[in-house]
Amino acid sequence: MSDKALSASETASGLLKRAGRWQIWEIALWLIAIAMIFVLPSKMLILTEITILALFAVSLDLILGYAGIVSLGHTAFFGLGAYVAGIFARDYVSEPVTGLLVAGAVSGLFGFVTSFLVLRGSDLTRLMTTFGVAMLLAELANQAAWLTGGADGLSGVMITPILGLFEFDLWGRNGYIYALVVLMVLTFIARRIVNSPYGLSLKAIKRNPVRAAMLGISPTRRIVVVYTIAAVYAGIAGALLTQTTSFVSPDVLAFHRSADVLLVLVIGGTGYLYGGIFGAIIFTVLRDWLSVITPQYWMFWIGLILIIIVMVGRERITRWQAFLPGSARAERLKARKAAEDVR
Amino acid sequence: MLTILFDGIAYGMLLFVLACGLSITLGLMNFVNLAHGAFAMAGGYITVIMMNRYGISFYWCLPAAFFVTALIGVLLERTLYRRLYKSSHLDQVLFSIGLVFMSIAAVDYFMGGQQQLISLPPELRGRFDFFGVGIGRYRLFIIVLCAALTVALQLALTRTRFGSQLRAAVDDGRVARGLGINVSVVFALTFALGSGLAGLGGALGTEILGLDPNFPLKFLIYFMIVVTVGGTSSITGPFVAALLLGIADVAGKYYVPQAGAFIIYGVMIMVLILRPHGLFAREGGR
């Protein structure tokens, strides 16, 4: 009996280990990102933008792709992080890494407090509460002009060299390296989290919360934890934006940012972390290209893309990941197909 | 004081006409349609074009706004919305956000980004005194019209054959189909009615709410509050919620202008924490 239990837990940990194995395409992606420093030195600013958006989308993926919470106000945490980093740098310490940690902590605390709002109710209630929280913060930032600069944005943010060693240069080279390092570290941590037994239990809750609760997995505590982690990530992404641009505009809390990050994640695909990164690359390049063609009306095309994605089916669009060499998803799809054939 | 109450009621009535279509699609058909404001905006722009370019009377513009918007609603329902009734809420949210973005950009392209103005017919302008209470003629017009609409709507849903068909189709589509009710036609007509009412509300609201390409996003939160706070199981819930919201918003803007939108969002979040299914939800409802 105990023998059997042991082997079951061994199988389980074996499966987890296999799911968490490094894939060739993952390593290639990071190598390409590092190589960009030398290959495209003139495009550093847009690459930094992509990196920040990717981190923001990874954070949304943690709650949407793994816990199944649809949020219309995720930019609340992004904007909070941006403002905290800006105010902290202006009034207290202008060293970026400290600011990053402070912004992440404040945003995480806010995420912890608001996480209790998303525990109750249906999808619709969650949509409304997250949306409402983001609007409240936006209103607050707009009204508290003595602290945030109001509608003009927060200026006068001076950022000293990173750890006192590397200065932000005019071409954004160090800024990109800094953002990339943060993204890499945080993605590795997120990777550990989602491939742990805890990450697996989150997926169980997403599939069927009632069944998960019956199996002894308490949804409440797990959702609070993942929501807090996602808030920390989003806050750090916002802080990165402040530090690389030395400016905070009220735009960081605007509704279209929440919609944008949803679109980013949907383009890249949810539930495997890298969706945010691929999505950010595609989205930023696309937006750049569209706004060159139709400066004022690129929103129209973004809307059209959203509708087409939904109409064609998100599943079908994100299937291309399956063709990445050595993808776990490809193996799973193959296995499923074989099972269907037998049936 | 009473004037503020009166203005608040007029505002609330207007919000109800704007939002009740949403409460049908969202509450009864369980479709998260964030693009509802786009239909209202369509109604508003139809009125603006008819009045300012062709000089048609305001009274003719109102039914025109209703029917043209309803037609747009049916077209979109038949071609796009219908496929998404069974999809997840995330898909519906993404789809309708896409629709909002497209409508904003399209209106901006054709009509420009400025605020649109209309001139009301002379008998609706101005105010008169009624026992010391200043009453705006146009607001009185809105209240009367919207009250009539509300009563008609309530009767139509509870007393007519179509109303019972709709309720049957919503409660259990398969059984309703088995009883010979053409569910997809019922849904299409309901959607048309909802978007038509939004168009009418948009036409009526051009004067009070203002009209520019960002209308769908600016008022989305109001519609959603009406529906989520009011609960989605009946017409009366959203109606009471719309009145409360209208009065609270007008009074808040008058007495504590610096609080801005805080009160509304705060109240909404509080209600949703305490009663996640709305103030007037029936037990076990969706």
Which residues in chain A touch residue B222, judged by CB atoms under 8 angstroms apart?
none
A110: left (phi over 0), alpha (psi -120 to 50) or beta: alpha
Tell me whether B258 touches chain A (CB under 8 Å).
Answer: yes
Contact B276 A121 (CB under 8 A): yes
In whole angstroms, give the CA distance from residue A281 to residue A180. Answer: 13
Q: Rounded to the nearest 5°, which phi and psi values hold at B284?
A: 75, 5
Write the residue in B80, B104, B273 that is nearest to A117 by C-beta: B273
Q: pLDDT tens digit string along A63-79?
A: 888 888 888 889 999 99
H helix or E strand, kind and range, residue B133: strand B133-136
Distances (CA, A) of B28 to A121, A128, B221: 17, 18, 19
Calculate the average pLDDT of chain A: 81
Q: Which residue of B has its CA nearest to A300?
A: B102
Q: Which of B90, B258, B272 sits opposite A70 (nearest CB)?
A: B90
B144 touches A at CB < 8 Å = no
- Provide long-range contacts, Cβ within 8 A and 24+ apart, for B206-211: B206/B44, B206/B47, B206/B48, B206/B116, B206/B118, B207/B118, B207/B120, B207/B138, B208/B10, B208/B11, B208/B14, B208/B138, B208/B139, B208/B142, B209/B14, B210/B115, B211/B41, B211/B44, B211/B45, B211/B48, B211/B115, B211/B116
Count of pairs with CB atoms under 8 A, one residue in A, one in B = 119
CB contact under 8 A, B32 and A123: yes
Q: What is the pLDDT of residue B286?
A: 38
Give the span between the Cα atoms of B200 and B69, in whole angstroms.
8
Identify all chain A residues contacting B266, using CB atoms and an 8 Å cutoff: 136
- Number of C-beta neighbours around residue B39 at 10 A: 31
Q: For residue B126, give how far its alpha carbon lies from the nearest alpha carbon of chain A (Å).
A: 33
Residues B267/B249, Cβ–Cβ less than 8 Å: no
Which residue is closest to A258 within chain B, CA to CA? B97
Closest to A279 in 3D by CA, of A266, A290, A289? A266
The DSSP letter of residue A65 is I
A253 touches chain B (CB under 8 A): no
Closest chain B C-alpha to A39 CA, distance in angstroms: 35
Q: What's the rounded Cα separation, in Å, for the pair B96 and B35?
A: 5
Any CB–CB contact under 8 A between A137 and chain B? no
By C-alpha distance, which of B4, B3, B2 is closest to B251? B4
Q: Collect all residues of chain B within an 8 Å Cβ-Cβ radius of residue A305.
A: 98
Neighboring chain B residues of A296 at a CB cutoff of 8 Å: 105, 108-109
- Give the separation between CA B83 and CA A311, rounded to whole angstroms: 8
> Is residue A105, in this structure, part of any structural domain at all?
yes
Q: Is B286 on the interface with A (CB under 8 A)?
A: yes
Mean pLDDT confidence for B98-114: 84
In Å, how far is B180's CA from the nearest CA of chain A? 30
Nearest to A176 by CA among A282, A37, A56: A37
The CA-CA-CA angle for residues A228, A231, A236, to 5°, reads 130
Q: Is A306's CB within 8 Å of B98's CB?
A: yes
- pLDDT tens figures, B10-27: 888 888 888 888 887 777
Contact A129 B83 (CB under 8 A): no
Give the integer Cα–Cα distance in Å for A329 and A313.
18
Enumerate the domain spans of chain B. Answer: 14-217
Q: Would an 8 Å CB–CB cutoff place A288 in contact with chain B? A: no
Average pLDDT of span B251-271: 75
How many CA within 13 A on the CB side of residue A143? Answer: 12
Q: How many domains does chain A have?
A: 1
Pick A129's closest partner by Cβ from B99, B258, B269: B269
Buried b (16+ CB within 10 A) or exposed e, B51-90: beeeeeebeebbebbbebbbebbbebbeeebeebeeeebb
Band (pLDDT 50/70/90 cuts) for residue B168 is confident
How far is residue B46 from each of residues A11, A111, B220, measured CA to CA in Å? 65, 43, 20
Q: Which of B98, B102, B272 sits opposite A125 (nearest CB)?
A: B272
What is the span of the domain harbouring residue A132?
22-312
Tokens of B162: 């179509």
**pLDDT score at A59:** 92
* CA–CA separation, B225 and B214 (whole Å): 18
A317 belongs to a structural domain: no
**Which of A121, A136, A304 is the closest to B102 by Cβ?**
A304
Query: Token digits for A248?
Result: 């905070």
Residue of A nearest to B94 (CA): A306
Instruction: Confirm whether A210 is domain-assigned.
Output: yes
Distance CA(A327)–CA(B275), nearest Å, equals 45
A84 falls within a domain:
yes
Q: What is the ipTM of this complex?
A: 0.77
pTM for this entry: 0.82
For residues B124 and B148, the model is more confident at B148
Residue from B81, B265, B267 whose CB has the most chain A CBs within 10 Å, to mutate: B265
The CA-CA-CA angle for residues A274, A280, A282, to 5°, reads 105
Sign of the torsion angle spanned by Cα atoms A247, A238, A58, A255: negative
pLDDT along chain A (343 residues), means of 10: 63 75 81 83 85 92 85 90 89 84 93 85 78 85 79 75 71 84 91 85 81 82 90 93 85 84 85 86 87 78 84 68 55 62 58
Which CATH number is A76's domain given? 1.10.3470
Q: Does A29 touch chain B (CB under 8 A)?
A: no
* Interchain pair A303, B97: CB under 8 A: yes
Chain B residue with CA closest to A134: the answer is B265
pLDDT in tens, A217-258: 888 888 899 999 999 999 999 999 988 888 888 888 888 888
At B226, list the tokens: 């009406």
Decide: B286 and B30 in contact? Cβ < 8 Å.
yes
